[in-house]
């Protein structure tokens, strides 16, 4: 007799991985771009550092607030759908059982077996069966606002510290180049690690974040240089 055992899947990591990668990526890109833009405007090292620290704090709080509000909206929608489904089960259980059976038929079961499966699942956990098979809601993919907010803020701050640490030790004359090169290296490493954790191609993961990081830093450097020349 086979025993049930829990397997770990890449999808189990979706909740925290998405927020963590997004936060760290934004922390590196936005902070590096900010300090490069300010440095390109001929600001002093102290001004560059102050701008970077301000960007770290503002960015981390913005990420936390944005993720929290966004995921709360998702959670509210999920709760509303579940409440509606609960009411429908209470008022018309036969129809809901037939609806569930039709879903299983569409997935390949014959009608009689689908009816048996629907009946047994609803007898065990009617709302859970409809949440999973009709609405596509599972524990793994359920919205967790606070988890997303904390992960985004923390990883943004960690990502932002990387270019800021380079600002502290790099000579002023080579600050822009060193921040850009080190930040792109961090991004490539982050993209590769995230891709590996998610079971995707490491090369593709590294390449896409590096591309967008290069574009962001390049544009802010140009704008900073133009602003410094005009002012």
Output the pTM of the full model: 0.68
Give the per-residue pLDDT at 173.
Answer: 86
Does residue 2 fall inside a structural domain? Answer: no
Residue with tokens 């802010």: 220
Q: Which two tokens stand for residue 60?
A: 């981390």
Residue with tokens 């809601």: 137
Q: Which domain holds residue 203?
A: 13-230
* pLDDT per residue as tens, the chain (231 positions): 444 445 554 444 455 566 667 788 889 999 999 999 999 988 888 899 999 999 999 999 998 898 888 888 877 887 887 788 788 777 877 887 877 788 888 777 778 888 887 888 777 877 777 777 767 666 545 567 787 788 888 889 999 999 999 999 988 888 999 999 999 998 898 888 777 766 778 888 888 889 998 999 999 989 888 876 544
Output the CA–CA distances (angstroms, integers) from residue 65 to 114, 142, 184, in the order listed: 44, 19, 27
Does residue 96 fall inside a structural domain? Answer: yes
Give the per-residue pLDDT at 57.
Answer: 94
Give the per-residue pLDDT at 211.
Answer: 92
Give the per-residue pLDDT at 138.
Answer: 63
User: What total of structural domains would you count in the chain?
Assistant: 1
Does residue 211 fall inside a structural domain? Answer: yes
Does residue 208 fall inside a structural domain? Answer: yes
Does residue 1 fall inside a structural domain? Answer: no
Does residue 104 fall inside a structural domain? Answer: yes
Does residue 222 fall inside a structural domain? Answer: yes
Does residue 3 fall inside a structural domain? Answer: no
């Amino acid at each position: 007799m086979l025993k049930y055992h829990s397997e770990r899947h890449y999808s189990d990591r979706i909740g925290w991985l998405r927020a963590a990668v997004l936060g760290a990526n934004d922390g590196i890109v936005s902070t590096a771009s900010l300090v490069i833009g300010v440095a390109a405007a001929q600001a002093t090292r102290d001004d560059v550092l102050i701008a970077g620290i301000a960007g770290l704090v503002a960015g981390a709080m913005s990420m936390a607030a944005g993720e929290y509000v966004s995921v709360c909206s998702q959670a509210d929608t999920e709760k509303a759908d579940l409440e509606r489904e609960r009411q429908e089960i209470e008022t018309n259980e036969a129809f809901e059982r037939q609806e569930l059976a039709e879903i299983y038929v569409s997935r390949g079961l014959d009608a009689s077996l689908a009816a048996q499966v629907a009946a047994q699942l609803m007898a065990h956990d009617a709302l859970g069966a409809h949440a999973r098979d009709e609405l596509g809601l599972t524990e793994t993919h359920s919205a967790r606002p606070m988890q997303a907010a904390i992960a985004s803020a923390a990883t943004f701050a960690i990502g932002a510290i990387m270019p800021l640490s380079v600002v502290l030790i790099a000579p002023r004359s080579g600050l822009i180049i060193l921040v850009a090169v080190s930040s792109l290296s961090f991004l490539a490493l982050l993209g590769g690690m995230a891709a590996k954790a998610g079971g995707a191609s490491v090369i593709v993961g590294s390449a896409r974040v590096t591309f967008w990081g290069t574009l962001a830093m390049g544009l802010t450097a140009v704008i900073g240089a133009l602003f410094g020349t005009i002012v």
